[in-house]
Amino acid sequence: MSGISLVLDGKVALITGGSRGIGAATVRMFSAAGARVAFSYQKANVQAEALVAECCGPQRCVAIRQELSTPADGRALVNAAVAAFGRLDILVVNHGIWPSNEAPIAEMPDEQWRRTMAVNLDSVFGLVQAAVAQMDRQAKPSPLDGQATGHIVLISSTAGQRGEANHADYAVTKGALISLTKSLSSELAPRGIRVNCVAPGWVATEMSAAAVGDPEMGAKIRAGIPVGRVASPREIAGPVLFLCTPLAGFISGEVLNVNGGAVLVG
């Protein structure tokens, strides 16, 4: 009896924020599953080049330096990925910023609010818009036969579901991605494009290192997670991969919580 594999042979995926953390783990996993992968990065040039080499080089994996803070930036990134590999089957929107300083709403600077909205939402609009247009243009089977013709996975957060004190800007953007998932699913599922969301809790990444590593804050974080620890990036990448395989072909518009049970206690 043969095993069941999560494979993406012949597929092209674009993963934003792919040079580090959850993004890099997702790039590795999608590449191992057989996809050709384009990923974006902004500053981590050394890490990006090393990841391309690790994933069999530019014939199978390309790194694209791209600022993501406007709709035009998002569209430019999709166009660059298509130019590299000729098509686009999967979009994973993983990039985002979480200003680590605590900013009560009465004191939050306009600049911080606008910057978080720009990176975490405005660029996503352009990414999704261009990706959907590309997926629609590609030769594909009729969606009426039940086969997915494209996949979009948006990375949200538990903060988007239960809020986060002193980080309202971040929580608002992640809540908006959940709403966007549901709206896009209703619109695109009839055309064969599956749109879903993965909502991680605390993950051991560079972005969260200061908070997780702080003795007092780290203990508080772990105390709020029923499994007693933060996730590894690979534990987020796995569910993302699953949602882009035929095994998830009947899943659309869902928010998959990957947080060690944390939402249940929130």
Question: 120-174 pLDDT, tens per residue?
Answer: 999 999 999 999 999 999 956 555 566 899 999 999 998 888 888 889 999 999 9
For β-strands 36-41 and 255-258, DSSP reports them as unpaired
Q: Residue 255: how many CB atoms within 10 A of its CB? A: 17
Instruction: Average the pLDDT over 188-213 and give the result.
Output: 87
Per-residue CA distances from 146 to 38, 105, 243, 251 (Å): 27, 46, 15, 11
For residue 58, the 8-state DSSP code is T
Among 12-26, 74-88, 143-157, 228-242, which stretch is predicted with the lowest mean pLDDT? Answer: 143-157
Query: What b-and-e string marks burial along 188-214, b requiring 16 or more CB atoms within 10 Å of the CB?
Result: beeebbbbbbbbbbbbbbebbeeebee
Residue 141's pLDDT is what? 56
For the chain, what's the residue count? 266
The proportion of the chain whose per-residue pLDDT surpasses 90, expressed as a percent, equals: 76
Residue 114's pLDDT is what? 97
Residue 144's pLDDT is what? 56
d(CA 248, CA 156): 19
d(CA 230, CA 222): 7
Chain mean pLDDT for the chain:
92
- Residues annotated as part of the active site: 170
Question: 39-75 pLDDT, tens per residue?
Answer: 999 999 999 999 999 999 999 999 999 999 999 999 9
pLDDT for residue 33 is more than 60: yes
Query: Which pTM does this prediction carry?
Result: 0.93
Residue 234's pLDDT is what? 96
Helices 233-243 & 21-32, crossing angle to 10 degrees? 50
User: pLDDT: is 192 or 206 the higher one?
Assistant: 192
Residue 265's pLDDT is what? 57
- Where along the chain do its domains lie? 12-139+147-265
Residue 4's pLDDT band (cuts 50, 70, 90): confident
DSSP 119-180: IIIIHHHHHHHHHHHHHHHS----GGGT--SEEEEEE--THHHH--TT-HHHHHHHHHHHHH
Name the CATH superfamily for 12-139+147-265.
NAD(P)-binding Rossmann-like Domain (3.40.50.720)
Instruction: Average the pLDDT over 162-189 and give the result.
Output: 94
